[in-house]
Structure 1
């Protein structure tokens, strides 16, 4: 029996997000589920960036949602243009305490209260190239399968022996 497991006991908890970011995320996730969109939080991208939420529609279209919980959070983190090469649409998501006029007018905007979320501004669509879409789909599928396995093993400790 190994003394050290390569799998976290809480594989679905990343631990880097604030309570407020998790609140925004929960509302956005509920919105996406209502639109029949699959969601994968904290997905590493080929560029080395990590997207807050990557959403995959039934049509195979990718949306990235970048969560910002304060004016300072938005101002210090200017990596969001890098996400455009990995998605068909980009949204910012925030909560009602953040002024919406700080967000770029040429990207989508979602406001979440933790229980629900509303799209205030649609995101413009920029179609991914076929090779990038395939790479994103494979990355999404593999990461989803890996996380499901880790969650199964964490829920049943006898699976890791």
Structure 2
């Protein structure tokens, strides 16, 4: 069996985490630009309007090299990491949730604490989420250019 590259592993974990979130009843968008200029790997919208951000990590080196995830907490009600089954869960901070995933699905290994978005921030994020979802739908349905 060949070793997978970092981009391949990231794609697998992202797919599994997305499948898990959708199975839990969330609407999910990948690569959602945030108001601070960062881009969240996955944003999940619950039926009650709660927002979850999931940062995908493909390796220990990926986690250690990238600390921009600390900038995501102001834009969600709960923050999670999604990681492959090969990663040691102990490397992730205890104050974040953890989803363990592969290409086929995922499971919740640790629930995230509730952060509670301020009403104005929630409104801004819901508008951002809906607008990007609509743009991506139009791109798929009508063959128009999709926004990044």
**Common fold: TM-score over 0.5:** yes
For the residues of structure 1 that align with 2:7 and 2:137, how far apart are their CA atoms? 23
For the residues of structure 1 that align with 2:142 and 2:63, how far apart are their CA atoms? 37
Equivalent position to 1:152, from 132, 141, 144: 141
Alpha-carbon shift at residue 30 of structure 1 (Å): 1.2
For the residues of structure 1 that align with 2:88 and 2:143, how far apart are their CA atoms? 40
Question: Given the alignment of the two structures, is residue 19 of structure 1 paired with residue 4 of structure 2, yes or no?
Answer: no
Structure 2 residues not aligned, in runs of 5+: 1-5
Structure 1 residues not aligned, in runs of 5+: 1-16, 156-161
For the residues of structure 2 that align with 1:126 and 1:73, how far apart are their CA atoms? 25
Partner of 1:113: 102
* Deviations 1:61-116, CA, capped at 9 Å, x for gaps: 00000000001100110011110000000000010111111110111001002111
SS class of match (1:127): coil
Equivalent position to 2:61, from 63, 67, 72: 72
Alignment RMSD: 1.3
Alpha-carbon shift at residue 28 of structure 1 (Å): 0.9
For the residues of structure 2 that align with 1:32 and 1:97, how far apart are their CA atoms? 20
For the residues of structure 2 that align with 1:133 and 1:85, how far apart are their CA atoms? 10
Question: Given the alignment of the two structures, is residue 82 of structure 1 paired with residue 71 of structure 2, yes or no?
Answer: yes
Aligned length: 139
Question: Given the alignment of the two structures, is residue 133 of structure 1 paired with residue 133 of structure 2, yes or no?
Answer: no
For the residues of structure 2 that align with 1:113 and 1:152, how far apart are their CA atoms? 29
Alpha-carbon shift at residue 153 of structure 1 (Å): 2.9
Alpha-carbon shift at residue 154 of structure 1 (Å): 2.8
For the residues of structure 2 that align with 1:26 and 1:43, how far apart are their CA atoms? 15
* Deviations 1:26-82, CA, capped at 9 Å, x for gaps: 111111111110000000000000000000000000000000000110011001111
For the residues of structure 2 that align with 1:137 and 1:83, how far apart are their CA atoms? 15
